[in-house]
A and B are shown apart, each in its own frame.
Chain A
């Protein structure tokens, strides 16, 4: 990990999808660099390509053109340096809450090799450490009492807390979140927003959060990206129309926030 490379770097990034009778360009010539300890909110109307951007960064799909690098290394497939929290299906239904959180730790190559080479005499001290670490994470999100439950026994907000703990325990360089709070009720949503901001400061990780909620984007982020399509040239795909630093946690009614919101709405984002 060379020190002078940004955590995430997209150059001339482009993506298109096959549609009937040709291709639909999602975006083209997208340049983006994210460095250091940033909380980047990506926002845009549905269909603007914000989830596509996230999937590209994750490595879950390959770009049409352009390059994607994380700390100088090309991104070719999803790996443990980039964590992800989806809106749904982030947890494994066959694992209890604590097993879900420790899943990533159990998948480490050295642990698996040790486990298989010493089978069946394997008595895991390390496994107990993993469990203890997972329990510690669960305590931080106040879910340790639910450690033995299965995901379907938890509410949506609790499931997302577990999913965040599950991703953060791997200490990823970047934590990606795809509308993580989209299916939650407003009060749960708010408490999770506070929780993720707190985790952002504790963990010193870079976070990229995709949302369609402008207030959420402004509230949690330190940097705001707005993706929008120019209505005059719909075939050209989306561009980054706003890229602004934001004061994280600023009250919504503060004049500067209102100014920013007005600017964003003017620049292309309309609900």
Chain B
């Protein structure tokens, strides 16, 4: 009987999809198991279950949170979610519009880059949460204005620099080629450069969604009458750790869903980018 040679898998070797799925599920189960163990130990030590709600308690908490509010006839959990998403969407839209326009201009025209890069780089170093006080005054404490502004301001500088970097990285050969095929300057930008960098821009927007949530929740902590951050603040006041944890899990799920949506969009509008190897 000959021994089958044992292959060592080297770093970077791909996995079968089934293996990936199993490992992913195992990761989730591991976290749940670790948490359950923590809850169990806490219980044995005689701790207050209020501060370490088990899985069952979390389930009940979800039920409580999704109960209809008899005063308004609505479910606050859903209205909070809708309110937060609506602010997030507007903040992201404004931030992305500013970043895409300025970033592409910076990427295409060296003069714009030379002028804007120092300012934008410095702005990117300002922690946006430091501006909550300012935005409260400028955009008003009531309403969504200051939250939208905080998100837009929070994500734009970094996103702008990223878009500019990607646009500048388009090979100059590609640009010269477009000119030699008769493109005008606008044609080179719109048909030659832009479509090439769209997948990378979408990727950067995906990364910007995380910070956008931070600014949103921070703003809602400060001042809000609805929204997920507001819900968490209320739970905190009543020391409902179980409610807070449900919100946190909900945030994780929402974030993942948004991430997947961006990923799918990217594949839809740039099918060529998915399979393209880096060269």
Q: Which residues of A contact B (CB under 8 A)?
A: 58-60, 77-80, 82-84, 86, 88-90, 92-96, 103-104, 106-109, 112, 150, 152-153, 166-167, 170, 172
Contacts and interface: CB of A to CB of B under 8 A. Distances in A.
B176 A78 contact: yes
Interface string B263-279: 00000001011011101
B182 A58 contact: no
Given A88-B173, A150-B276, A93 B180 contact: no
Closest CB pairs A-B (n = 6):
A104-B181, A80-B182, A78-B179, A89-B173, A89-B171, A94-B195
Interface string B239-277: 000000000000000000000000000000010110111
What does DSSP make chain A's interface, helix, strand, loop or mixed?
Answer: loop
Given A93-B276, A152-B275, A79 B173 contact: no
B174 A152 contact: no
A82 B181 CA distance: 8
Given A58-B180, A89-B177, 8 more contacts: A84-B176, A89-B174, A94-B195, A94-B270, A95-B195, A107-B181, A112-B187, A170-B181
B272 A94 contact: yes
Nearest to A166: B181
A104 B181 CA distance: 5
A90 B179 contact: no
Nearest to A104: B181
B196 interface: yes
B180 A84 contact: yes
Contacts of A153: 275
A166 B181 CA distance: 8
Interface in B186-228: 187, 191-192, 195-196, 198
Interface in B144-188: 171-174, 176-184, 187
Nearest to B195: A94
Contacts of B279: 152
Contacts of A59: 179
Given A94-B195, A94-B270, A108 B182 contact: yes
A89, A90, A153: most-surrounded residue (chain B CB, <10 A): A89
A135 B250 CA distance: 52
Contact of B180 (A82, A92, A95, A106): A82
Contacts of A172: 180
Nearest to A163: B177
A60 B188 CA distance: 14
A95 B196 CA distance: 9
Contacts of A170: 181-182
A167 B180 contact: yes
B177 A84 contact: yes
B176 A103 contact: no
B177 A107 contact: no
Given A88-B173, A92-B192, A94-B195, A152 B276 contact: yes
A107 B176 contact: no
A49 to B, nearest CB: 18
22 contacts: A79-B179, A80-B181, A83-B181, A84-B176, A84-B180, A88-B171, A89-B174, A92-B174, A92-B196, A93-B272, A94-B196, A94-B272, A94-B273, A103-B181, A107-B178, A109-B184, A150-B276, A152-B277, A152-B279, A166-B181, A167-B180, A170-B181
A152 B272 contact: yes
Contacts of B178: 92, 103, 107
A86 B173 contact: yes
A84 B173 CA distance: 9
B182 A150 contact: no
A102 to B, nearest CB: 10
A122 B122 CA distance: 47
Contacts of B177: 84, 86, 89-90, 92
Contacts of A84: 176-177, 180
A90 B173 contact: yes
A179 B80 CA distance: 62
Contacts of B180: 58, 78-80, 82-84, 167, 172
Contacts of A112: 187
A152 B187 CA distance: 23
A141 B277 CA distance: 25
Contacts of A92: 174, 177-178, 192, 195-196
A104 B177 CA distance: 10
A58 B175 CA distance: 12
Nearest to B185: A77
